[in-house]
Amino acid sequence: MSPELTADAVPIGGAATAELAPEVHDAFRGSSWGEHPVPGTLPDILHLIRRIEGGDDPADAVDQLTLLERIRHAAGAAQLRVMLGLEATRRAEQGTPEDRTPAGLAAEVGLATRASAGSASRRLGIARSLRHHLPRCGLLHAAGLIDEGTAAQVVTALAPLSRADRLRADRELAAELPGLTWAQAGKRARAIAYALDPQAAMRAAAKAAADRYVSTRPAPDCMVQLTALLPVKEGVAVHAALIRAADAPRGAEDQRTRAQVMADTLVELVTGRSTDTIDVEVGLIMTDRTLLDGDDDAATVPGYGPIPGPLARALVLGGQTSEGEQAQGCHAASVWLRRLYADPETGELASIDAKRRTFTGVVRRLVVWRDGTCRVPYCDAPIRHIDHAEPYAEGGPTSADNAVGMCEAHNYAMEAPGFARHLDPDGALTVITPTGGRHTSPPRRATG
């Protein structure tokens, strides 16, 4: 097989695919994938899929599961090829250089696939790498023998290499990938990359250290998942310190599990305070019924999401429930609440308690807390920009009613040719794409 061969140009059957694992050859033999469009309309295809049901024979059921999984992976590979076709079209229309992404493309792909612009941009990067640098990996994906997560691990691990080295690594990995998990594939690809060009790996590691970060993501049951991306030395050192704390002798009265000790130690080391005495400031959005009348409507903590009404009242009371009991997870700490009041019927944010302002821009704060995350459909990215729904240049007022919170990527994408947006009086936001597609996100409820 020529190293220049790309996944979408592979002839079906013959010596070209025979070089790969027999499973790939079998998958392509007699198939029309890559040569002709899938026959039938979308309703026809969905009807056929809906007719699939497991029977009484376990062997048949297992075969069906295997086939459907391969179809799912192959469909994802087809999506990547279609993305590249759309990119070529937009690049020609806009005259975009090869080293830049056409304006608005990631947002357009994201809306079509019900994903954020960031997620779409990552998938476009995977598609480009599979086509131009990893053709055998692309073939395995197209045959449904590996999933997109595995392909992404390989693409990321081999990114520091030159194109020639990536093609070599692609040849070495092809026979192994169908039998590996995505994590195993990433480890194997990194080992090959380090052997092929250790200096490139060192340069990539030095550059990656600049991308270290800490983030939070809401978790069930009023918990938060804290994530840190650190250089290997610092990351291992942090974990080792937590392990030492967990393994240290404790009194019989300390009934915490090892995991709980590690979590508490992390908080104490970062804040410098005991978990029982941390001073916190919490933005809390709730209705007056929840606060004053014991209503059980959910409240909202901006940046996290909904929390139970009783827990919201416990936060207001400094950790005590309305019955005077200590709420689980709440300690006798100094808690400052920035209270916001929402309409009890609609959940719409009505006003802000601005008794404590540390910076100007109450309207901006209200919009960020009201919208929560980017208003563009299917995007959960944090709000970075506040923009006018009706453009200021066209007479749109600078007010909360005409404001939408968006991530940086989508705010820039809305300026690309063919994009438009419309904010309904009820707060629903509709985004119109260059092809005329309309995608609507419902009004944001500040509570619940």
Rg (CA), the chain: 27
- Together in a domain, 49 and 115: yes
CA distances from 117 to 288, 371, 409, 446 (A): 37, 18, 7, 24
CA-nearest of 314, 388, 412 to 107 is 412
Angle between helix axes 135-142 and 148-158 (nearest 10 degrees) is 170
- Together in a domain, 43 and 173: yes
Residue 275: predicted pLDDT: 56
Asked whether residue 446 is domain-assigned, the answer is no
Tens digit of pLDDT for each residue in 262-276? 999 998 888 876 655
- Together in a domain, 225 and 117: no
- Together in a domain, 143 and 12: yes
- Together in a domain, 16 and 153: yes
Residue 218: predicted pLDDT: 84
Domain that holds residue 408: 362-441
SS3 labels along 236-249: HHHHHHHHHHHHCC
- Together in a domain, 79 and 11: yes
Calpha distance 167→162 (Å, rounded): 9
Calpha distance 68→61 (Å, rounded): 11
- Together in a domain, 26 and 104: yes
Asked whether residue 433 is domain-assigned, the answer is yes
Residue 293: predicted pLDDT: 62
Tens digit of pLDDT for each residue in 227-239? 999 988 888 889 8
Asked whether residue 448 is domain-assigned, the answer is no
Asked whether residue 236 is domain-assigned, the answer is yes
Sequence-ordered list of residues with C-beta below 8 angstroms from that of 296, at least 6 positions apart, any chain: 290, 308, 309, 310
Asked whether residue 1 is domain-assigned, the answer is no
| Below-70 pLDDT ranges, the chain | 1-41, 273-296, 302-304, 315-362, 445-448
Q: Considering 152, 187, 206, which residue would you say is the last residue of a domain? A: 206
Q: Considering 251, 271, 291, which residue would you say is the last residue of a domain? A: 271
Number of domains in the chain: 4
- Together in a domain, 256 and 287: no
Asked whether residue 357 is domain-assigned, the answer is no
Calpha distance 199→196 (Å, rounded): 9
Asked whether residue 68 is domain-assigned, the answer is yes
Residue 336: predicted pLDDT: 47
Burial class (CB in 10 A: 0-12, 13-18, 19+), 301: buried
Q: Considering 206, 228, 263, which residue would you say is the last residue of a domain? A: 206
Calpha distance 302→342 (Å, rounded): 13
